[in-house]
């Protein structure tokens, strides 16, 4: 064989391989990736569904397109030949129809029409195959076991079947439009249509053909009217969402009438194929659209003359359906409503008796805390803390709420000259460890006390992270090759670096020419093909962003915005809440995302080191997740299969709680009359943060519910009446054990006023002693930041706590310097929560408002102003205490530490001495 022949053959093989790779690279990479995670059957099922849908829809589009095109070709005859190019004195004009006719002389018209129809059908089929989930849900949908009261269909018909029928309605119209366009083009080219005349000339054959197509359009309208009956349960007018009285009286039979009239109109147009005049098509349009117009006029007349004068009575049964179905769709039908009278009276003793609640009041706000973590614990420039999570652990025998953040590695933060391919994909492959701090403790400088910190991770409370590497997290996706010839950077140690090799099971084996060629082409990165660092045991980690990972594995699940990390088995795992949703639940009011059914059905667990991903069903009663379990057998595990120590960290997701709370603001009103009049609308409270007013967010707490024996972890938020700032109730969701997911509302007595968060913040800002202290700090080059105001229900009473942070004007290290607490009509600011509560419940009235202060870590420039002694009877120790305090401040400013210590001791003695008798 000649060398030239061999070269040509090899070139041909390479070209064919590249063409196949360009078409199939995503398929093969997905096949390997799904298989590595144990979900190959999931991907195969999706691909099979997509190809089956593509094939069926392609035929469904191609057949009518080619039939209509062939008929147009058969019914037309070539006119007298025209010149393809006509020359004039000024220009050369191309005659497009004649040009296409000339092409038709070289290529048979039927073949040309078939080719155009095939291409158009590909676009139609491709757009439909993307909606594979609609098809397979309709085929395998699990019944809800409840029927709608209007038509008697199971709810599953609306959730699973109706979306597919609506898709087919739109597909029918799209194919009809394409067929009409193709047909018109053929008639135009072959002389059946001439737009140069006015009005355009149309041949009798074309007129007959277009009459049939118009008849098919009326059949599509008939299908639309048939579906519109069911869509009456999925629309609203502001009073009732779903079927209304006018819908029941007018449109429910009206759509049946329009359905029949549309069929009659279609028959008239089809009959016109023989007559080929405008009389029958015009008659068909009148037959259909005149009654439709009359029905549209009747609706406002019925509403104005019959419904509006007695709307509540007439719409009562429809309101009841709307309320009941909306509450069921958002899982609000089982909310436990309890009274909160607010007659309790807190004392220091009762506060101490509720130690688990008090010890877990969150003083660290995630917003300033993330800045503190970055300043203290990122250690190297390429490490990154993206988010602060809140969770609870048993620490030293106590149920403790903590805040934690994994230390991820972001290669984009490497120095510019270090942005090499080896560094980004082989060396700097993973983050290391995490930081953990209790929610309510600080050191003497106002900085968090760490339970876990540093690299490698060290713990002061017994955590042992033997596998602290973070290969999978929330950073932007960047593929890495592990177990390569070159060692990976593991962590910094002083001025040196520690290197090592991956010892986990994650990643796709990459050895072999074809796999390297595949991944090189997939990432458009030649380095994967030519580098010598890829060896036999090398594995490639892709889709390392956990949100992208879940979206690729289960695109039919919506994700919560806040996945959180859990310390587990010497390493870390991510837990992400996901949801099944629908916008087709009958009578249910849509939320701000236009969905009207939601369930927190699946908890996804991802190992931060290996990327192993497990799906646990958290709501086994949800028919939608039952449907997906039927479609993908073996993909989902029961929640009981989750390791017990990991199951102890599942929590009620914030996004789900917000959606439910948003709907509950209106749908807590179950009395139709109250609901109709909107007598008791609620809103989320407002709060101030960083000089901006914003909506208060839900917050996690460990607290003991009124009437309960033990403290528990829960998610809660207060509610206020619309247009007002006083509290009207608070809503909470339990997160622990068998009570997980239990929602309850504590309804406040309407006979008393309960301050809302915004009102408490206003009272804090109006307190003269506290506002004077704010002014002092702000004047001294510091920035005062108020954190989350937390409302803590304790024993039929409300305790309000707000942390105060101080940050240098141009600095990035907020310090927790004060704690403000309010109860009843008193407000106290102290250096610690213990001091503040002691002053709030035990301090004398004249000492309730002044701040308890000490030396600031920012230096003596931030020292508070001297306390002005209040008027007191002779012999009172209040004035003496104030004198000692002021002399101590003066000594501190002079740097006289001896006198400062002596005066502080004397101050302590005065405060500890009982007041003198008058």
The three-state DSSP-derived secondary structure of 347-404 is CHHHHHHCHHHHCCCCCCCHHHHHHHHHHHHCCCCCEECCCCEEEEEEECCEEEEEEE
Cα–Cα distance, 853 to 79 (Å, whole number) = 101
Distance of CA 429 to CAs 491, 536, 670, Å? 11, 19, 55
CB 452 within 8 A of CB 433: yes
What's the confidence (pLDDT) of residue 859?
38
Range ranked top by mean pLDDT from 14-18, 220-224, 476-480: 220-224
How far is the C-alpha of 312 from the C-alpha of 672, rounded, in Å? 8
* Local confidence band at 595 (pLDDT 50, 70, 90 cut-offs): very high
Query: Tell me: the pLDDT tens digits for 42-97?
Result: 999 999 999 999 999 999 999 999 999 999 998 886 543 333 334 444 444 445 55
User: Rounded to whole angstroms, what are the CA distances from 231 to 228, 247, 325, 520?
Assistant: 5, 11, 15, 49
Which tokens go with 439?
A: 């929610």
Are 272 and 211 in contact by the 8 Å Cβ rule? The answer is yes
What backbone torsions phi and psi does residue 910 show, to the nearest 5 degrees?
A: -65, -40
688: closest CA among 760, 749, 744? 760
**Residue 898 Cα distances to 399, 445, 892, angstroms:** 42, 21, 9
The beta strand positions in 618-728, using DSSP E, are 636-638, 682-683, 686-689, 692-695, 699-703, 712-721
E-strand stretches of 460-596? 469-470, 480-482, 488-493, 496-500, 508-509, 539-541, 558-559, 564-568, 571-582
> What is the C-alpha separation between 144 and 427, in angstroms, rounded?
52
Q: Which residues contact 4 (CB under 8 A, 6 or more apart)?
A: none
pLDDT at position 108 is: 80
Confidence band of 13 (pLDDT split at 50, 70, 90): confident
Other CB atoms within a 10 A radius of the CB of residue 26 amount to: 11
**789: burial class by Cβ within 10 Å (0-12, 13-18, 19+)?**
buried
3-state secondary structure 849-872: CCCCCCCCCCCHHHCCCCCCCCCC
| Neighbour-count burial of 294, counting CB atoms closer than 10 A to its CB (0-12 exposed, 13-18 middle, 19+ buried) | exposed
CA-only gyration radius of the chain, Å: 36
Those residues whose C-beta lies under 8 Å from the C-beta of residue 407, and which sit 6 or more positions away, are 377, 378, 379, 383, 384, 385, 431, 432, 433, 434, 435, 455, 470
Query: Are 151 and 578 spatial neighbours (Cβ–Cβ below 8 Å)?
Result: no
Confidence of residue 851 (pLDDT cuts 50, 70, 90): very low
pLDDT level of residue 833 (50, 70, 90 thresholds): very high
Confidence bin at 866 (pLDDT 50/70/90) = very low
Average confidence (pLDDT) over 759-774:
89
Q: Residue 603 in 3-state DSSP?
A: strand
CA separation for the pair 369, 805 (Å, rounded): 10
Average pLDDT, the chain: 88
- Over residues 684-697, mean pLDDT: 88
Q: Write out the two tokens for 707.
A: 């009437």
- Where does the pLDDT of residue 879 fall: very low under 50, low under 70, confident under 90, or very high at 90 and above? low
Tell me the C-alpha distance between 816 and 831, whole Å.
9
Contact 712, 751 (CB under 8 A): no
What span, in angstroms and rounded, lies between the C-alpha atoms of 35 and 43? 9
Buried b (16+ CB within 10 A) or exposed e, 638-670: ebeebeeebebbbbbbbbbbbbbbbbbbbbbbe
What is residue 192's predicted lDDT score, i.e. its pLDDT? 79
Q: What is the pLDDT of residues 497-534, one digit of tens each?
A: 999 999 999 999 998 889 998 999 999 999 999 999 99
Tell me the percentage of the chain whose pLDDT exceeds 70. Answer: 88
pLDDT in tens, 242-292: 999 999 999 999 999 999 999 999 999 999 988 888 899 999 999 999 999
pLDDT of residue 240 exceeding 70: yes
pLDDT digits 0-9 by tens, 297-344: 999 999 999 999 999 999 999 999 999 999 999 999 999 999 988 888
Query: How many Cβ atoms from other residues are within 10 Å of residue 749's Cβ?
Result: 13
Residue 579 to residue 653: CA distance in whole angstroms: 10
Give tens-digit pLDDT for 358-404. 999 999 999 899 999 999 999 999 999 999 999 999 999 999 999 99
Dig out the tokens for 522 from the structure: 């997939």
For residue 844, is pLDDT > 80? no
Say what angle helices 3-37 and 40-75 make with each other, to 10 degrees.
Answer: 120
3 state SS of 744: strand
> So what's the pLDDT on residue 601?
97
Torsion over CA: 155, 158, 159, 162 (sign): positive
pLDDT score of 700 more than 80: yes
SS3 category, 81: coil
Q: Taken in order 222, 224, 230, 233, is the CA torsion positive or negative?
A: negative
Give pLDDT, residue 188. 87
Angstrom distance (rounded) from CA 711 to CA 345: 19
Q: How far out from the chain centre does Cα 330 lie?
A: 16
Pairwise CA distance, residues 93 & 87, whole Å? 6
Q: Which residue has the higher pLDDT, 4 or 832?
A: 832
Band (874; pLDDT cuts 50, 70, 90): very low
pLDDT digits (tens, 9 = 90+) for 528-570: 999 999 999 999 999 999 999 999 999 999 999 999 999 999 9
Angstrom distance (rounded) from CA 687 to CA 866 = 31
Q: Supply the pLDDT for residue 397.
A: 92
- Asked if the model's pLDDT at residue 850 lies above 70, the reply is no
β-partners of residue 783 are 807
Residue 847 has pLDDT above 70, yes or no: no
Max CA pair span of the chain:
125
For 809-885, where are the E strands, in sequence order? 815-823, 826-830
Residue 184 has pLDDT above 90, yes or no: yes
Give mean pLDDT, residues 796-801.
92
C-alpha pair distances (Å), 867 with each of 273, 847, 864? 100, 10, 9
Residue 508 · residue 539 · CB < 8 Å = yes
Does residue 898 carry a pLDDT above 70? no
Please determine, for residue 857, whether its predicted confidence score (pLDDT) is greater than 60. Answer: no
Question: Which residues have a Cβ under 8 Å from the Cβ of 183 and sit 6 or more positions away?
Answer: 68, 69, 71, 72, 209, 210, 213
Q: What tokens does 506 get?
A: 């994650």
Cα gap 430→853, rounded to integer Å: 43
Q: Output the six-digit token pair for 123.
A: 């676009």
Query: What does the DSSP assignment read for 766-787?
Result: H-HHHHHHHHHHHHTTEEEEE-
Q: Residue 577's pLDDT is what?
A: 97
Flag the least confident range among 70-79, 112-121, 407-416.
70-79
Angle 839-845-851 (CA atoms, 0-180°, nearest 5)? 50
Q: Is the pLDDT of residue 875 over 50?
A: no
Q: What is the pTM of this model?
A: 0.86
Burial class (CB in 10 A: 0-12, 13-18, 19+), 602: buried
Average pLDDT over residues 642-659: 96
573, 471 Cβ separation under 8 angstroms: no
Confidence check: pLDDT of 882 > 70: no
> Is pLDDT above 80 for 753?
yes
pLDDT tens digits along 457-492: 999 999 999 999 999 999 998 999 999 999 999 999
Tokens 């073996």, located at residue: 634
3-state secondary structure 197-234: CCCCEECHHHHHHHHHHHHHHHHHHHHHHHHHHHHHHH
Q: What is the mean pLDDT of residues 645-660?
A: 96
For residue 409, give the DSSP letter: E
Q: Which region, left, alpha or beta, applies to residue 570 given φ > 0 means left and ψ of -120 to 50 means alpha?
A: left
Strand-pair partners of 402:
391, 438
> What value does the mean pLDDT take over residues 867-884?
54
- The C-alpha atoms of residue 190 and residue 304 are separated, in whole angstroms, by 56
The whole-angstrom separation of Cα 836 and Cα 827 is 9
- Integer Cα distance of 575 and 701 in angstroms: 19
């Amino acid at each position: 064989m000649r060398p030239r022949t061999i070269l040509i053959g090899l070139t041909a093989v390479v070209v064919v391989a590249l063409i196949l790779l360009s078409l199939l690279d995503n398929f093969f990479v997905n096949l390997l990736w799904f298989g590595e995670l144990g979900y190959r059957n999931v991907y195969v099922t999706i691909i099979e569904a997509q190809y089956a849908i593509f094939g069926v829809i392609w035929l469904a589009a191609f057949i009518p397109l080619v039939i209509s095109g062939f008929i147009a070709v058969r019914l037309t005859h070539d006119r007298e030949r025209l010149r393809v190019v006509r020359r004039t004195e000024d220009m050369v004009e191309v005659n497009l129809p004649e040009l296409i006719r000339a092409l038709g002389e070289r290529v048979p018209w039927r073949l040309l029409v078939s080719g155009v129809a095939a291409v158009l059908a590909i676009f139609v089929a491709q757009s439909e195959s993307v909606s594979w989930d609609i098809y397979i849900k309709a085929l395998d949908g699990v019944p809800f076991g409840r029927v709608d009261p209007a038509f008697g269909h199971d709810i599953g018909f609306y959730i699973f079947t109706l979306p597919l029928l609506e898709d087919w309605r739109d597909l029918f119209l799209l194919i009809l439009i394409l067929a009409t366009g193709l047909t018109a083009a053929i008639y135009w080219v072959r002389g059946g249509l001439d737009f140069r005349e006015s009005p355009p000339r149309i041949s009798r054959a074309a007129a007959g053909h277009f009459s049939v197509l118009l008849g098919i359009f009326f059949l599509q309208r008939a299908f639309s009217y048939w579906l519109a009956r069911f869509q009456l349960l999925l629309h609203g007018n502001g009073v009732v969402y779903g079927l209304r009285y006018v819908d029941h009286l007018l449109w429910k039979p009206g759509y049946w009438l329009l359905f029949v009239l549309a069929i009659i109109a279609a028959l008239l147009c089809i009959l016109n194929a023989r007559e080929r005049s405008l009389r029958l098509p015009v008659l068909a349009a009148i037959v259909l659209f005149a009654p439709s117009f009359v029905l549209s006029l009747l609706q406002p007349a019925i509403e104005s003359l019959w419904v509006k004068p007695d709307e509540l009575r007439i719409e009562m049964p429809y309101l009841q359906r709307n309320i009941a179905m909306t509450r069921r769709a958002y899982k609000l039908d089982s909310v436990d409503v309890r009274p909160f009278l607010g007659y309790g009276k807190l004392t220091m003793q009762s506060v101490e008796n509720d130690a688990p609640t008090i010890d877990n009041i969150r003083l660290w706000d995630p917003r300033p805390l993330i800045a503190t973590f970055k300043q203290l614990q990122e250690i190297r420039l390429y490490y990154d803390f993206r988010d602060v999570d809140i969770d609870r652990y048993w620490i030293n025998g106590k149920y403790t709420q903590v805040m934690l953040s994994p230390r991820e590695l972001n290669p984009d933060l490497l120095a510019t000259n270090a942005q090499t391919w080896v560094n980004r994909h082989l060396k700097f492959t993973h983050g290391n460890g995490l930081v953990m701090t209790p929610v309510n403790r600080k050191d003497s400088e106002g900085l968090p006390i760490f339970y876990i910190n540093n690299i490698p991770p060290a713990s002061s409370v017994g955590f042992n992270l033997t596998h602290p590497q973070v290969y999978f997290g929330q950073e932007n996706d960047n593929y890495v090759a592990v177990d390569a010839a070159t060692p990976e950077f593991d962590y910094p140690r002083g001025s040196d670096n520690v290197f090592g090799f991956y010892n986990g099971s994650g990643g796709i084996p990459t050895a072999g020419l074809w796999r390297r060629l595949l991944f090189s082409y997939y990432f458009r990165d030649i380095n994967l093909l030519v580098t010598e660092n890829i060896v036999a045991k090398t594995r490639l980690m892709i889709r390392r962003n956990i949100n992208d990972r879940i979206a690729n594995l289960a695109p039919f699940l919506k994700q919560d915005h806040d996945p959180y990390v859990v310390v587990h088995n010497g390493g870390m795992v991510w837990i992400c809440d996901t949801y099944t949703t629908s916008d087709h639940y009958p009578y249910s009011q849509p939320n701000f995302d236009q969905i009207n059914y939601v369930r927190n059905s699946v908890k996804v667990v991802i190992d931060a080191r290996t990327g192993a991903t497990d799906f646990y069903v958290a709501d086994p009663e949800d028919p939608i997740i039952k449907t997906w379990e039927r479609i993908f057998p073996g993909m989902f595990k029961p929640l009981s299969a989750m390791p017990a120590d990991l199951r102890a960290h599942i929590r009620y997701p914030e996004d789900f709680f917000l959606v439910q709370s948003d709907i509950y603001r209106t749908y807590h009103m179950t009395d139709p009359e109250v609901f109709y009049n909107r007598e008791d609308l609620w809103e989320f409270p407002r709060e101030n943060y960083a000089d901006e007013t914003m909506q208060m967010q839900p917050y996690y707490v460990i607290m003991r519910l009124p009437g309960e024996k033990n403290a528990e972890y829960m998610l809660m938020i207060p509610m206020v009446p619309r247009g007002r700032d006083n509290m009207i109730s608070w809503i909470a969701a339990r997160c622990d054990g068998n009570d997980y997911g239990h929602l309850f509302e504590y309804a406040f007595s309407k006979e008393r006023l309960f301050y809302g968060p915004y009102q408490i913040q206003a009272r804090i800002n109006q307190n003269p002693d506290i506002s004077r202290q704010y002014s002092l700090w702000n004047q001294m080059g510091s920035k005062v930041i108020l954190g989350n105001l937390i409302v803590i229900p304790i024993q039929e009473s409300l305790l309000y706590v707000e942390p105060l942070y101080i940050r240098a004007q141009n600095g990035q290290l907020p310090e927790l310097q004060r704690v403000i607490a309010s109860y009843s009509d008193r407000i106290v600011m102290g250096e610690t929560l213990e001091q503040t509560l002691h002053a709030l419940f035990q301090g004398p009235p004249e000492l309730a408002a002044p701040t308890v202060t000490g030396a600031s870590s920012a230096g003596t420039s931030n020292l508070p102003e001297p306390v002005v002694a209040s008027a007191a009877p002779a012999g009172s120790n209040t004035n003496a205490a104030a004198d000692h305090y002021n002399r101590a401040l003066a000594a501190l400013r002079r740097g006289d530490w001896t006198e400062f210590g002596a005066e502080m001791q004397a101050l302590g003695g005065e405060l500890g001495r009982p007041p003198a008798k008058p």
